[in-house]
Amino acid sequence: MSAKTERYHLDSELTLHDRTHSPLTVRAVSLSLIKQDDEVIECRLTFQVSPQLYQRIETEALFNLKPEVRRPLTGGNFLPSPDIEIEIGLQPNLLPQPIERAVDANEAATYILNLNQEQPDNPLLSTESWLALSVKQQQESGETGYRTLWADITASAFVQSATSGSSDQMNNALANFFKESIEANLPAVTQEATSQIVEEMTNYFKQVADTSLDGLTKSVPSILQEALEAGLKSTPTEGQFFEEIVNFFEEDDWPFVQIEGEPLLQMVFQGENGKWTCYAKARDDQEQFVFYSICPVNAPENKRLAVAEFLTRANSGMIIGNFEMDFEDGEIRYKTSIDVEGDRLSFALIKRLVYANVTMMDEYLPGIMSVIYGEAEAGEAIAKIET
């Protein structure tokens, strides 16, 4: 029998708590129950948060939003507004009896909202008890966002696979996930990462159905190997100058993907203050190397003059590299570059430019965010960082 979904619309504040019991207040939008044979097998909650609060969720990997289970971002970067919508699913082994026995989604939603008032420390209100399924933001140009591995390998999908005796659906979901991850290289799909995914999958599903996961977990390495052998990780273009750049990132253990047909590498860097996309570009004919760190948010139109002042103040005294902003779309980036005409591009030169770049973006990112989100003046934001 196929699963059916019951949804109840909400418009209420809900306060959850993280692993340190710090509060996280969100705007609950809806609660859904997925049933099979009249039994609840999934409980999903959709809520909205500000982009600033999303930064905390992403940085602290709340709702188990770990880099290794995310699909690549589609549609562009998140903007400072509007709010971001996140759908999460309750871990099946944590389904409390009142929810399992709820007549409908309305009753389950009422139960959770009452817990929020009467038992704020209940495990059901912990971010660790939920798995992030999707993250999205509606923009003028369309929807931007991403899904996670859990969005495809859900409890209901697993129950259907277990019931039919075939793991094809699960294997296909895994294959698609690894394919997209390898193509975007966000993050590197390593054996360590796949082992972690398998371990989490096993814990996630172990109480969902009385069926072994051995066949599924054993298939993961072969699925990954097939994806790698299919050539999904791009082969660099010809050019000795560009090869030096590729060799550096391979030897320095940076996961990356080459932009098709271009001497351009794309990668993601995780700093202490955030995560952002980087680009390494070779200009073979000019014998120049350029490295960019792209700020994870664009400056909104009404903040661009303030951000421009902040970046100008930041650039004053910079020795290696500088900040730039595109006044058309508000994109902010840090650039480092070198011209080695008549010389060679060494490992040490590349490393110096790359790490100087990401260090500066990481150092000044909190200031950029405070100007965009926190109404801070450019001068005081710079002073807070540089003193």
The CATH number given to whatever domain includes residue 264 is: 3.30.1460.10
Quick one: 229 and 251 in the same domain?
Answer: no
**3-state DSSP call for residue 337?**
strand
State the chain's maximal CA–CA distance in angstroms: 76
Quick one: 6 and 141 in the same domain?
Answer: yes
Quick one: 221 and 311 in the same domain?
Answer: no
Quick one: 187 and 130 in the same domain?
Answer: no
Quick one: 350 and 269 in the same domain?
Answer: yes
Cα–Cα distance, 40 to 336 (Å, whole number): 54
Reply yes or no on whether the pLDDT at 216 is more than 50.
no
Quick one: 107 and 16 in the same domain?
Answer: yes
What average pLDDT does the chain have? Answer: 80
Percent of the chain with pLDDT over 70: 75
Quick one: 175 and 63 in the same domain?
Answer: no
Quick one: 262 and 176 in the same domain?
Answer: no
Percent of the chain with pLDDT over 90: 40
Quick one: 46 and 77 in the same domain?
Answer: yes
Quick one: 311 and 264 in the same domain?
Answer: yes
At residue 174 the predicted structure's pLDDT band, cuts being 50, 70 and 90, is: low
pLDDT tens digits, residue range 253-269?
999 998 877 889 999 99
Q: Which of residues 204, 233, 262 is at a domain's end?
A: 233
User: Region 296-324: what's the mean pLDDT?
Assistant: 93
Quick one: 1 and 91 in the same domain?
Answer: yes
The region of weakest confidence among 170-179, 243-252, 326-335 is 170-179
Reply yes or no on whether the pLDDT at 297 is more than 60.
yes
The region of weakest confidence among 34-38, 48-52, 78-82, 170-174 is 170-174
User: Region 313-340: what's the mean pLDDT?
Assistant: 93
Q: Which of residues 95, 130, 151 is at a domain's end?
A: 151
H/E segment holding residue 281: strand 275-283
At residue 213 the predicted structure's pLDDT band, cuts being 50, 70 and 90, is: very low
> For 259, which DSSP code?
P
Q: Comparing 296 with 40, which gets the higher pLDDT?
A: 296
Q: Which of residues 233, 264, 290 is at a domain's end?
A: 233
Cα–Cα distance, 244 to 247 (Å, whole number): 5
Kindly report the pTM of this predicted structure: 0.54
Domain span at 50: 1-151
Residue type, 123: P
**Helix locations, the chain, DSSP H:** 51-59, 97-100, 105-118, 149-152, 155-164, 168-184, 191-205, 214-229, 240-251, 304-315, 347-373, 378-386
The region of weakest confidence among 63-72, 274-283, 334-343 is 63-72
User: Region 210-225: what's the mean pLDDT?
Assistant: 48
Reply yes or no on whether the pLDDT at 233 is more than 50.
no
Q: Which of 164-173, 223-232, 338-347 has the highest mean pLDDT?
A: 338-347
Domain tally, the chain: 3
Quick one: 200 and 338 in the same domain?
Answer: no
Cα–Cα distance, 51 to 168 (Å, whole number): 37
Task: Let me know: does 242 contact 230? Beta carbons within 8 Å.
Answer: no
